[in-house]
Chain A
Amino acid sequence: DTAVSQTPKYLVTQMGNDKSIKCEQNLGHDTMYWYKQDSKKFLKIMFSYNNKELIINETVPNRFSPKSPDKAHLNLHINSLELGDSAVYFCASSQALLGAYGYTFGSGTRLTVV
């Protein structure tokens, strides 16, 4: 039973398209995150949500819009995809926003924009 699951695992799409990546956690955690790992392998925080509420938006273009229908789900919608959006996107969750809790990561979604 996967703790943090992302779908799809792979996504290949053309420039200009709109796509969504879904994330679900079954850990009962309050806080969820999206990270982006580019071709140079640096992992960067994009968004943080706590109990469905946006906490952090780290200088991400507004083409990226996270949506949290409930605290177990944090989906990422991307409009007008660009070549530079190609990366691996990781969803993560933690028990709470504050406190010394570890993050549990999903296995990633590899997005390729052609």
Chain B
Amino acid sequence: DAKTTQPPSMDCAEGRAANLPCNHSTISGNEYVYWYRQIHSQGPQYIIHGLKNNETNEMASLIITEDRKSSTLILPHATLRDTAVYYCIVRAYNNAGNMLTFGGGTRLMVKP
């Protein structure tokens, strides 16, 4: 898997947009960008993934730069329940031995 770099922690005010950056400068053409989060004591939760186009779902938006070397996960209106560790992962879609590999993630604290 390509290595990803995320800030270890971030704060966000409740109701504001949370923008979580991720660098993946060595990403390959067959690797998707995935975002997961882990709320305290729970299992990781899938949020969104993308290859090169921006993606949006009911949870978040994913913005991938044109060169694919970085991406940003956007939570448009953060709530206290969004406080969690957010993981940015790149993974090849066509490699059977390529599992989802978690790094340190970004600990997002949403404050009232």
Contacts and interface: CB of A to CB of B under 8 A. Distances in A.
Interface of A: 4, 33, 35, 41-45, 48, 50, 55-56, 58, 90, 92, 97-100, 102-108
Given A42-B102, A42-B104, A55 B42 contact: no
Contacts, number: 54
B101 interface: yes
Given A100-B51, A102-B49, A107 B99 contact: no
Given A45-B101, A56-B99, A90 B44 contact: yes
Interface of B: 32, 34, 36, 38, 41-46, 49, 51, 85, 93-97, 99-102, 104
B97 A56 contact: yes
A42 B34 CA distance: 17
20 contacts: A4-B43, A43-B38, A43-B44, A43-B102, A44-B102, A48-B99, A55-B97, A56-B97, A90-B43, A92-B43, A98-B93, A99-B93, A102-B49, A103-B44, A103-B100, A104-B46, A105-B43, A105-B44, A106-B43, A108-B42
Nearest to A99: B93
Interface of B, secondary structure class, is: loop
Nearest to B87: A43
B49 A45 contact: no
A44 B102 CA distance: 7
